[in-house]
Structure 1
Amino acid sequence: MSTVTLRNIHKRYTDVEIIKGIDLDINDREFVVFVGPSGCGKSTLLRMIAGLEDISSGDLLIDGERVNDVPPDKRGLAMVFQTYALYPHMTVAENMAFSLRLSGMPKARRMERARDVARILQLEPLLNRKPKELSGGQRQRVAIGRALVRNPKVFLFDEPLSNLDAALRVQMRLELASLHDSLQSTMIYVTHDQVEAMTLADKIVVLQGGIVEQVGSPLELYHHPRNLFVAGFIGSPKMNFLPVTVSAVNDSGTTVQLPGGARVTIPVRPGSLSTGDGATLGIRPEHLRLDHNDPTLTGEVLVVEQLGGETFLYVRIAGGDTLVVQTDGDNPSRMHDRAFIHVDGDLCHLFNQNGESVPKARRHHLTMDESHEPQYQNRISHQAE
């Protein structure tokens, strides 16, 4: 069993607070991804778990044992860094077995362990090569192998794919997912790339400014974001946002006025907003529909992105806002065309003036999409590349 528990964790550098009281439970065998923009504190948090950064206050527990003052090499963790950090004068086998050498393990046993791990990572033909003779993806697999030989309680990954090109990132994502499935180990992974988070994680921790904005499964965060930040950060392309004004509130929902004067009713709980309030409407690109006969909004197509299986239209509407509309790959729209867009209120999100999500009055029919998680993950993976 390998669990990690954070209780009111803080990190301060003199007068600057980087981590601002984080509580988090990471369960046995979970693949947990810390995601957020640069400077949000995700790598600092990972290094605190690893023991490479001191904890200013709070408690860090591994398998229920407080480890704040336990040295990094005694915590039973293994970390994979962004820069590989391989020794250039050592072979692949020697690099992978180096930590076992430091622990005093006999050479025959540590080389046997390195060969076993190389078999898992498909590195057997490369065991006698030096790092300079390897590709970027091969070097990253060696770095993972160096962590794997230690048989750690928890694997820690600090943006391990950021130095790879797009094709290698896709390949390594598949390999990491397969490795987690075969090892059934607890893994904590840091990235600024929300696509990596969506396609790898059992649970995503969204960070901003040293605090946790939301924790949940990839599709929970995608379909039920807690606030504007999460809604805009999770998803590629990101959610469309429009400023709106509440024009009516009744039992059937809240009616808002969009730029240009159109009205849409969104089934949110009564009492959350009042007539005259300003708010933000959010809707995913795939939930907008081109409909010449029943348009809610019209605008000019500024950019057409054709990706083969799908096309994205960037449409400027009244007031100057730009919407991204996902359509079929063979959509004939061209730049400067007039676009007629239908907005379905059941598929919209509503956020109050504080940026917090207004709760839905009933569960909307996104359940159809949620029941097809693999298809969603494959789609978003292709979009990112």
Structure 2
Amino acid sequence: MKTYKLMIKQHNITGLRYLCITVREKWRQYTGSGTRWKAHLNKHGIDFNTELLYETHDYDDFVKVCVFYSNFYNVVENDEFANVIHEIGYDNGVNICNFVIFWDIIDEQTKQDIYNRRRNSLVNNGNHWAHSEESKEIVSSHISFALKSRWGSLTESEKKSISEQHYQYYEPLSDNQKEVILTNLIKAREKAVLFYEDKECERYKEYVKSQSQIVTEWHANMTENEKIEFGQKISEGRLAMSEEAKKLRGERVSESFKTSEKRQQFNEDMKVERLGINNPNAKIVVWMGVEMTKSDFLALNIDETFAEEMFKTRDDCVPAEPPRQDYDPIYCPHCAKSSGNSKPSAFKRWHFDNCKERQ
């Protein structure tokens, strides 16, 4: 036999209450099914306490108590409650949704009042919980997390299949339907542009960091063939761009490099490195206070016949050769030629077997 329970759940953080019913044995853990209440839990977390108002096996008696408490607390009009409609019973014993029962009972004026109140709360009232920036951000983050989790768990073939399904869905649409989709995409892009404008905010920096990590991991997990195929697609896409699109892309890349912190730091580093400071392989060297390219310096060295050792040992010009290593000489068993200061192993390899005195 069913035991019908009438309860009030109250959120421990916000204090919002919700009048609800259940026949479950674990009624304290039951979260409720109301639209506004569930949205509130998604936003602020599942953290509530439960007060049991009434329980019975008699359904008719239970319905009367539900109606009494719904009217007593005026749960629909009361801002302290999350109920959208009055609680009038579980299923009326015939598996009919309680909202259907409620809608059949009330008069036309009450229905119109509900319509007006709902419309005003959603459209005109800027304080409605669904319109707050916090709610929008939470909903957006939930959707983003769900999509990323799902997409990240798919294989490349599954992702390709989904992309093909999207194309098959979009292609047969009418021009008006495509226009609606395009308009929504443009709105989303405009919203994204506003987000990308403030590149100094912490939220943007965290986003860039997470995206960089995702792309790095994705690229690291690709096979060599996938990398080649991916690179070819990028090349084909850029080659297929119109001249105007190529010019626009070039301008954007150039502008990005001008304002990029990494690019500015790179330029500063190159200024130092090319002057030969702490860099023996510098492309630009300093000789007698004059900056010149390494090729010009080499030409100058030939013209002025600088001493070779002097040229090679200057720290601010070209790398000094490593100190010469001394080897113990060995002698050819055929001609008695000495290896001198050459590497013995090289002397053996190139001279011993090729010695003219070898018989």
Q: TM-score, normalised by structure 2?
A: 0.21
Bigger relative contact order, structure 1 or 2, given CA contacts below 8 A and separation 6+? 1
Q: TM-score, normalised by structure 1?
A: 0.20
- Which protein shows a greater Rg? 2
Which structure has more helix as a fraction of its residues? 2
Which structure has more strand as a fraction of its residues? 1
